[in-house]
Amino acid sequence: MNTIPHWINGAEVTSETTAPVFNPATGAEQAQVALGGGTEIDAAVQAASAAFETWQDSSLSQRVQVMFNFRQLLVEHEEELGRIISAEHGKTVDDARGEITRGREVVEYVCGLGDVLKGSFSDQVSRGIDVHNFRQPLGVVAGITPFNFPAMVPLWMHPVAIATGNTFILKPSERDPSAANFVAELYRRAGLPDGVFNVVHGGKDAVDAILTHPGIEAVSFVGSTPIARYVHEQATAHGKRVQALGGAKNHAVVLPDADLEFAANHITAGAYGSAGERCMAVSVAVAVGDAADALVAILERKANEVKVGPGDQPDVEMGPLVTKAAQERVENAVGAAAAQGATVVVDGRGLKIDGHEDGFFTGPSLLDHVTTDMDAYQQELFGPVLAVVRADSLDQAIELINANPYGNGTALFTASGEAARRFQRRIKVGMIGINVPVPVPMSYYSFGGWKDSLIGDSPIHGPEGVRFYTRPKVVTTRWPQPAQQVTAGFNFPTSS
């Protein structure tokens, strides 16, 4: 059976310890992945540290040229990478292509990094004195990324880090590890020097080694909120900068004046796309006033129309969940919701796909009359379950969302500009969509939520990403004429 190795200093490296990698559509083990720990992380840090000595002094033009080459290779190999992702994650190939495209947009953003990194210059701030500033890379940085976007989320990190002059260590999810190695090979072909990008597979041992290693300057993380808190606490305690993006419970509010067919169509896609395994998935529809009954009826019809099957089949809209445990957790949550009083309008439990009976499939589930004290509302289910909560007014819907501990993304469906403006100003959520169900910002903005969805204060990619992977210097200069005598004062210096 194939073993997926680490990628350290431009070479494949194995470990004695391995873990199985499954095909979610069949339930069969298809590979083993090497599991590293402190030894492998230290080897990667040593390689990245050595590479940083020359990479930090490379020209911006050289670094950007590598990114141009890398971007073109991502385009040329999109289909192949998409099928690799689908085979290990379970999402459809089309969905995988979509995540590659959104990740590639970050590469395109850093191809224009020259404008972003421009410093400023102030002439004659005092007599004969000028001031200017610029930014420099940190050194060796690391990313710990989740299973649900094995290409896109790492692409939110390492292109920004590498283009700004850092070297990078990626610890991807061991559930779908092959995309990381494929990207490493594309970097090699793009001309990236050995040691600048490294991949170490593993579990908690590898994570802890990253968080505590003195040679790593910064850590980026995307995953659940409890782990985000752990990463932030441990890494900051060891003197590192931290980006830590956590979980979500994203609401889509539907007002009576909205086009209900349009809203339901987009909410269905936002809830069940990628089997709901997205931190920006729509997991709660807040039906306001008279919209409720009609909206639920349309959502029921559309949920029953979703085509579920293996992700490599062209007509499939939703694939399996990533593991058997995830399938059981989601189906148990639907049963618990029914026991707590929710109405199960569409029940996706027990779905079997012909020829793939052992796959980790569950169908779309739609719950109505969900209340905020139910587990189906309070927990991030991370599966194809849409809960409908009813509200009397937009103000009540806003209060409901603001009371939720998460603040990642939210959406409003309406024909009213006044309602939209009131919503986007009053809502305590980091990313907002107006008639857009999954408001993931473009690469030249930054991605990050509020409250328990972002631990600390560092969003990812865009301008905030550039700031995270660099530190500023401010230089005050004086070039006196040879014959000029400048008197030095003992008082605190002032401008004059």
Catalytic residues: 279
Closest CA to 184 of 434, 368, 9, 390: 9
Residues 133, 206: Cα–Cα separation, whole Å: 37
**Other C-beta atoms within 10 Å of 355: how many?**
10
Residues 435, 415: Cα–Cα separation, whole Å: 9
Q: How far is CA 480 from the centre of its chain?
A: 51
Provide DSSP, 39-68. HHHHHHHHHHHHHHHHHTTS-HHHHHHHHH
DSSP assigned state of 308: B
Pairing of strands 18-23, 28-34: antiparallel
DSSP assigned state of 216: -
Closest CA to 161 of 463, 470, 455: 470
Three-class HEC string of 119-132? CCEEEEEECCEEEE
Instruction: Find the radius of gyration of the CA atoms of the chain.
Output: 25
Is-contact 282 267, C-beta < 8 A?
Answer: yes
User: 28 to each of 25, 357, 396, how far by Cα in Å?
Assistant: 8, 11, 47
- What are 8's two structure tokens? 């350290």
DSSP assigned state of 273: G
H/E stretch holding 22: strand 18-23
Is-contact 434 412, C-beta < 8 A?
Answer: yes
Burial (CB < 10 A; 0-12, 13-18, 19+), residue 320, is buried
Is-contact 121 132, C-beta < 8 A?
Answer: yes
Closest CA to 318 of 358, 364, 250, 263: 364
DSSP assigned state of 193: P
Burial (CB < 10 A; 0-12, 13-18, 19+), residue 238, is middle
Closest CA to 51 of 165, 146, 161, 132: 165
